[in-house]
């Protein structure tokens, strides 16, 4: 069983993906980490603006190298959305994601284009969203908890900018697949959101 979960930043899709993966005993890939890792390599080389450097970083990426702790910063979220708009970077990361999804028994993948591009045949697709102010509040608390020195307004501005860049790009824009089920988590706690997501997946498998 492949479960494809898409949605904007801080919508709750990552938490739901982890919970669903644990529930079904499936491997989980947070595909945002791939783009964050590409951005991290480019920034370390001082070459975020260099398209060829980002493609090279994407081609040589190894899933085993992904360290969520170091990759989930505000700076890398922004950098990820810059490199993610480049078709060459997306093409270089396609096989790796499809291989992950093709594991015997299935997998859970979350990102922006899982239901539309990476796993269009997945039986269970969720599009998770929430109001921008709610997402900014969640991300603000998460970043504060990680010790980042950041303001709520800066986080909200970053989320709105990323929404626009991710939805407006021509290569695999953030888009709900026609056959994805919409889940708005704005007014749901984690348990209620998980119960709703689980019911949606059960109805599809």
Q: Is 70 annotated as belonging to a binding site?
A: no
Strands 181-184 and 2-6: unpaired
- What are the backbone dihedrals phi and psi of residue 29, each rounded to the nearest 5 degrees, phi first? -120, 120
Both tokens of 16, joined, read 């739901």
| Contact with ligand C5P (CB under 6 A) among 2, 5, 21, 80 | 80
Instruction: Indicate the residue among 172 and 201 with the shorter CB distance to ligand C5P.
Output: 172
Locate 50 and state its tokens.
Answer: 């260099």
Q: Which is nearer to ligand C5P, 32 or 106 (CB)?
A: 32
Q: Which listed residue (81, 116, 129, 185) binds ligand C5P by CB under 6 A?
A: 81
The yes or no reply on residue 55 touching ligand C5P (CB under 6 A) is no
Q: Between 113 and 132, how does the x/- string for binding to ligand C5P read (CB under 6 A)?
A: x-------------------
* Burial zone of 165 (CB within 10 Å; 0-12 exposed, 13-18 middle, 19+ buried): middle
**Smallest distance, ligand C5P to C-beta of residue 109, A:** 8
Residue found by looking up tokens 């504060």 in the block: 144
Radius of gyration of the chain from its Cα atoms, rounded to whole angstroms: 16
Buried b (16+ CB within 10 A) or exposed e, 99-118: ebbeeeebbbbbbbbbbbbb
Per CB under 6 A, 12 contacts ligand C5P: no
- Total residues contacting ligand C5P (rule CB under 6 A)? 14
**Binding residue for ligand C5P, selected from 19, 41, 112, 138, defined by CB under 6 A:** 112
Q: Give the binding range for ligand C5P (CB under 6 A) out of 55-63, 111-119, 126-134, 145-153.
A: 111-119
32 binds ligand C5P (CB under 6 A): yes
Dihedral sign for Cα atoms in the order 37, 40, 42, 47: positive
Site of interaction with ligand C5P (CB under 6 A) = 9, 31-32, 35-36, 77, 80-81, 84, 111-113, 162, 166
């Amino acid at each position: 069983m492949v479960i494809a979960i898409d949605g904007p930043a801080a919508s709750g899709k990552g938490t739901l993906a982890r919970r669903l993966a644990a529930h079904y005993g499936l491997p989980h890939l947070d595909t945002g980490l791939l783009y964050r890792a590409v951005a991290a390599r480019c920034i370390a080389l001082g070459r975020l603006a260099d398209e060829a450097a980002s493609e090279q970083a994407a081609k040589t990426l190894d899933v085993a190298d992904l360290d969520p702790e170091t990759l989930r910063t505000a700076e890398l979220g922004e950098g990820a959305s810059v490199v993610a708009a480049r078709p060459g970077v997306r093409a270089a990361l396609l096989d790796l994601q499809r291989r992950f999804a093709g594991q015997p028994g299935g997998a859970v993948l979350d990102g922006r284009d899982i239901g539309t591009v990476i796993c269009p045949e997945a039986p269970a697709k969720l599009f998770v969203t929430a109001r921008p102010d709610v997402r900014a509040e969640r991300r603000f608390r998460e970043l504060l908890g990680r010790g980042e020195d950041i303001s709520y307004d800066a986080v909200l501005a970053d989320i709105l900018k990323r929404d626009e860049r991710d939805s407006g790009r021509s290569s695999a824009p953030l888009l709900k697949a026609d056959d994805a089920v919409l889940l708005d988590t704005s007014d749901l706690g984690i348990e209620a959101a998980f119960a709703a997501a689980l019911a949606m997946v059960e109805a599809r498998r």
